[in-house]
Structure 1
Amino acid sequence: MATSLKNLSDYNIADVPSAAEMKFGIVVSEWNTEITEALYEGAYNTLIKHGASEDNIIKKYVPGSFELTAGAKYLAEMTDVDAVICLGCVIQGDTPHFDFVCHGVTQGMTLLNVQYPIPFIFGLLTTLNQQQALDRAGGKHGNKGDEGAVTAIKMVHLNRSLKN
């Protein structure tokens, strides 16, 4: 569904399990910091709202969105997180760089999800301009970070329910 038809921050709170016993990694791109920090705040606050402990949220930075995949892999291999939320923003410019970065991150995240026993959450904004990014980082279309946190909680819950 197009973001213009759904607010990224709207969800039924009753449909989200408790995150009290879950541990999360959040990888944040340093590129487009105004946007990515707003995405992080959304994700962090949503995790806390659903019972996650501050001590169970690990935040790490990577230089740009392309590095989100490697940063997520490092968190999965070197910590005991239950899920990794990847937050970045790529704004289309005048060169094909946008396409290469978006495609690379998408493929990398897909590979991580099939290669590791924990979920990796795709929180990459791929927008045509700065305003679209602002609209999806706490603006009129909500916050993709909120959506990423809810997705992470639900996927950890699913993963655990299937193991039991």
Structure 2
Amino acid sequence: MIKQAPSTTRNYTFSSLPRIAMVVSRFNEKVTHSLSKAAQAWLVEHNIPFQKENDLFYAPGAFELPLIAQHLAKSGRYDGVVCLGCVIKGDTAHFEFISLSASLGIMQASLSTEVPISFGILTAYTFEQAKLRSLDNHENKGREAVAACVETVSLLQRTA
């Protein structure tokens, strides 16, 4: 890869603009679509290239996010991976198992590949809580997840 002159995007400095993959859970799609839309908007606002047809991937649910993210991180095509999902508590322990598995899986995938993989999975007790965290505003958790991923990429590039 040819090194380019440093490029600055607001408070982030890169040796080359990062390539970010986004993996979105199809489960609770009304919420996850809003998270994805906001995350993509954040990338556009910060002049970070993102092509839906090449960089956006879908997982059946939150449980599958870590494996897909790890695969993308290992591919060498991406500097960071953003995982977006939504798990809403029901009447059984399923919520706890999925939430814990997804969070530990994403952390393990990021540590083992040394590629930033951000955790943008809402874990809410109600649909209303999830909806509030995915509104089309600056507090959308999809925006926060992609910002965390990009900031980590920037820091790792600067300290390499």
On whether the aligned pair clears a TM of 0.5, the verdict is yes
In structure 2, do the counterparts of structure 1 residues 16 and 95 end up closer, same or farther at CA, with 3 Å as the change threshold? same
Unmatched tracts of structure 1, length 5 or more:
1-12
Q: Please, which runs of 5 or more residues in structure 2 have no aligned partner?
A: 1-8
Aligned to 2:29: 33
Greater RCO, CA 8 A, separation 6+: 1
Q: Which residue of 2 aligns with 1:5?
A: none
Name the Cα RMSD after superposition.
Answer: 2.1
**Normalised TM-score (structure 1):** 0.84
Q: Sort the Cα spacing of 1:50 and 1:102 in 2 relative to 1 into closer, same or farther, 3 A.
A: same
| Residue 14 of structure 1, CA deviation | 4.7
TM-fit CA distance, 1:75: 1.0
Structure 2 counterpart of 1:54, one-letter code: F
| Aligned residue in 2 for 1:6 | none
- Name the CA shift for 1:113/1:54 in 2 (closer, same or farther; >3 Å): closer
* Structure 1 residues 155 and 141, CA gap change in structure 2 (3 angstroms): closer
1:75 to 55, 72, 76: 72
Q: Percent identity?
A: 32
CA displacement 1:63-90 (0-9 Å, x = unmatched): 0000000110121123510000000000
Of the candidates 143, 146, 151, which is equivalent to residue 146 of structure 1? Answer: 143
Per the alignment, residue 50 of structure 1 pairs with 46
Equivalent pair of 1:135/1:142 in contact (CA under 8 Å): no
Q: Which aligned pairs between 1:1-164 and structure 2 lie closer than 5 A?
A: 14-17=10-13, 21-55=17-51, 58-138=55-135, 142-163=139-160
Q: CA 1:83–1:140 in structure 2 vs 1: closer, same or farther (change >3 Å)?
A: closer
The runs of at least 4 consecutive aligned structure 1 residues that moved more than 2 Å come to 13-20, 54-57, 139-142
> How many matched pairs?
151
Q: Distance in 1 between matches of 2:15 and 2:145?
A: 13
Deviations 1:48-105 (A, max 9, x none): 1111123497000010000000110121123510000000000000000000000101
Q: What code does the residue aligned with 1:41 have?
A: K
Q: TM-score, normalised by structure 2?
A: 0.86
